[in-house]
Amino acid sequence: MDEHRNLIFDLYGTLYDIHTNERRLSFWRQFAEYLKGYGMDYHPGQLQKKYLRSCRQETERMRKERGFELIEISIDTVFRQLCQDQGYEPDKHDIEMIARTFRSLSTDYLKLYPQVRETLSRLKGQGRRLFILSNAQQLFTDYEMEELNIREYFEGIFYSSACGCRKPSGRFYDCLFSRHGLKKQESVMIGNDYYSDILSAHDYGIASIYIQTNQSWKHHGPLPDDCRQIQKIGDILKLQQDWPTAERD
């Protein structure tokens, strides 16, 4: 069996459970009230429409510029546009704080799944190289990783917003594999999404581990032959008993 030296984790629905709701009018009221501190005067309904319109426009702009569908915008461009439309020119710190507040106000809960930290610690201690490959906004997710205290376990963290593309695109995998010089036969993708994680890994030529969680979509069709299924994240430790111990550099 090829050595599974490189373990590539999805994030949302795989390592941690989160529920956000950006449709609540009460959320947009709170966010509009927060922006008043920067001198902006948005009506909540107007703010929501401008935010969604800006997201759509930036998505279409990037699709035309890059020439493929599975792009990912960086949300900082949207928040910057909201500020500039009100005559305020934000700096980097402003954008970070606005994004953090937006995410905090819209989040109902955020928590690690059971056994995550213990599992990551043991895998790293065995010499595995751990990576994140997540369809996520860096401005949101960096803060969440700090709150959950799991950043230290990963050698590399790749967000779709930073790479400009997202799973299931092979371009996103290329960002990780080229940066860290990974070999496909030594790598395995671990995720809860049948299409974005498991089928994309198979199409890219790497093995996968499927974990069905409360955030997994129902799927139709069998798992690929190069995929193993587990019930909880700690079961990776049972699977890896069949893997050779990774040699440390």
Question: Is the same domain home to 200 and 133?
Answer: yes
User: Which amino acid belongs to residue 183?
Assistant: K
Name every residue whose Cβ is closer than 8 Å to that of residue 80 and which is 6 or more positions away in sequence. Answer: 90, 95
| Residue at which a domain ends, from 108, 124, 141 | 108
Q: Is residue 247 part of a domain?
A: no
- Which portions of the chain are predicted below pLDDT 50? 1-2, 244-249
Question: Is the same domain home to 117 and 169?
Answer: yes
pTM greater than 0.85 (yes/no): yes
| Residue at which a domain ends, from 85, 108, 131 | 108
Question: Is the same domain home to 100 and 60?
Answer: yes
What 3-state DSSP class applies to 92? helix
**Host domain of residue 200:** 6-19+110-242
Question: Is the same domain home to 124 and 172?
Answer: yes
> ∠ CA(171), CA(158), CA(211), 5° rounding?
90
Q: Which residues of 151-189 are buried (b: 16+ CB within 10 A; e: fewer)?
A: eebbebbbbbbebbbbbbbeebbebbbeeeebeeeebbb
pLDDT in tens, 71-105: 999 999 999 999 999 999 999 999 999 999 999 99
Q: What is the pLDDT of residue 244?
A: 44
Question: Is the same domain home to 12 and 53?
Answer: no
* Beta strands at 187-191 and 6-9: parallel, antiparallel or unpaired: parallel
Question: Is the same domain home to 94 and 166?
Answer: no
Q: Is residue 171 part of a domain?
A: yes
Q: What is the pLDDT of residue 197?
A: 97
Query: Residue 50: is it exposed, middle or buried by C-beta count within 10 angstroms (0-12/13-18/19+)?
Result: middle
Q: Is residue 1 part of a domain?
A: no
Question: Is the same domain home to 91 and 122?
Answer: no
CATH number of the domain that residue 176 is part of: 3.40.50.1000
Q: Is residue 249 part of a domain?
A: no
Q: Is residue 181 part of a domain?
A: yes
Q: What is the pLDDT of residue 240?
A: 65
Question: Is the same domain home to 132 and 73?
Answer: no
